[in-house]
Amino acid sequence: MQFPQLKITFLGTGTSTGIPMIGCTCAVCTSTNAKDKRLRSSVLIESPTTTIVIDTTPDFRYQMLRIHNIKLDAVLFTHPHKDHIAGLDDVRAYNFFQQKPMDVYANALTAEALKHEFAYVFADKKYPGVPEINLYTIDETAFTIGDIPIQPFTVWHHKMPVFGFRFGKFTYITDANKIEDQAKEKIKGSDTIVLNALRNEQHISHFTLNEAIALVHELQIPNAYFTHISHQLGKHDDVEKKLPPGIHLGYDGLQLTI
């Protein structure tokens, strides 16, 4: 299968509270380093003809404004938690300027949550100006958006199934603390992975930093960037200099060419 060259832009790399966290005066939240300022986790995937965002966070509007994005073809959702879906209403701007509905792809669990959280979008009688959405419920069957082939697979966020996505040699996983062997086989062979690494201490539903590093080594992926980071992990520069070769902390605004 032919895969186009992709540009990956990290729109946000923070956990559900973002960094700085409201009311916190810790060294990370008060840091003046721009890499310690983290919006909620999301990435933009761009090929020569197609632009896709993974998750519409509560920061979605600002994330797209600060990179001056003017084109969006589709939204992929990983799971239904609010820090990953709350910004969906702001696709209205793309409806207006692109003069078409937004294509949205999600697993069955997330699709039902979207219908509940944004009931006005899916109502039989719609209020004027609500977002126009084509909602597609997807499973682990590979599919294509524009010129970008996509392979979904399931990882586990405690007991919640979350979709990871592979785009050729690039794999994106957020909000996970368990990946079964079947999914690992779909990830192996990637050149680059983005993976959640919340903090150093154990967590019920996220990989720790050491767990994320161990998984990258197990899967033998040469390039890794960690995301969904909390203020508990420490300052970006302090953590970055301790990481093994080929493994880095992601940061807002980071761009990769795959």
Cis? peptide before 20, omega within 30° of 0: yes
Tokens in use for 82? Answer: 């609010």
For the chain, the first-to-last Cα distance in angstroms comes to: 16
Instruction: Identify the DSSP state of 46.
Output: E
Whether 2 has a pLDDT exceeding 90, the answer reads no
Task: Report pLDDT digits (tens) over 59-84.
Answer: 999 999 999 999 999 999 999 999 99
Q: CA-CA distance, 70 to 39, in Å (whole number)? A: 20
3-state SS, residue 44 = strand
Backbone angles phi, psi at 43, to 5 degrees: -135, 155
> What confidence score (pLDDT) does residue 216 get?
98
Whether 227 has a pLDDT exceeding 80, the answer reads yes
Band of pLDDT at residue 3, cut at 50, 70 and 90: confident
> What confidence score (pLDDT) does residue 218 get?
98
Percentage of the chain exceeding pLDDT 70: 100
Q: In which region does residue 222 sit, left (phi positive, over 0), alpha (psi from -120 to 50) or beta (all else)? A: alpha
3-state SS, residue 68 = coil
The domain spans of the chain are: 7-257
Whether 10 has a pLDDT exceeding 80, the answer reads yes
Q: Name which of 8-12, 94-98, 127-131, 249-253 the model is least confident about.
A: 127-131
Task: Report pLDDT digits (tens) over 197-220.
Answer: 999 999 999 999 999 999 999 999
Please give the torsion angle defined by the CA atoms of residues 199, 204, 206 and 208, in that order, rounded to the nearest 10 degrees.
Answer: 40
Under CATH, what is the fold of the domain 7-257?
Metallo-beta-lactamase; Chain A (3.60.15)
Tell whether the torsion through CA atoms of 94, 4, 174 and 9 is positive or negative: negative
- What Å distances lie between residue 66 and 152, 163, 236, CA to CA? 28, 27, 21
Whether 258 has a pLDDT exceeding 90, the answer reads yes
> What confidence score (pLDDT) does residue 81 get?
98
Task: Report pLDDT digits (tens) over 160-202.
Answer: 999 999 999 999 999 999 999 999 999 999 999 999 999 999 9
Whether 1 has a pLDDT exceeding 70, the answer reads no
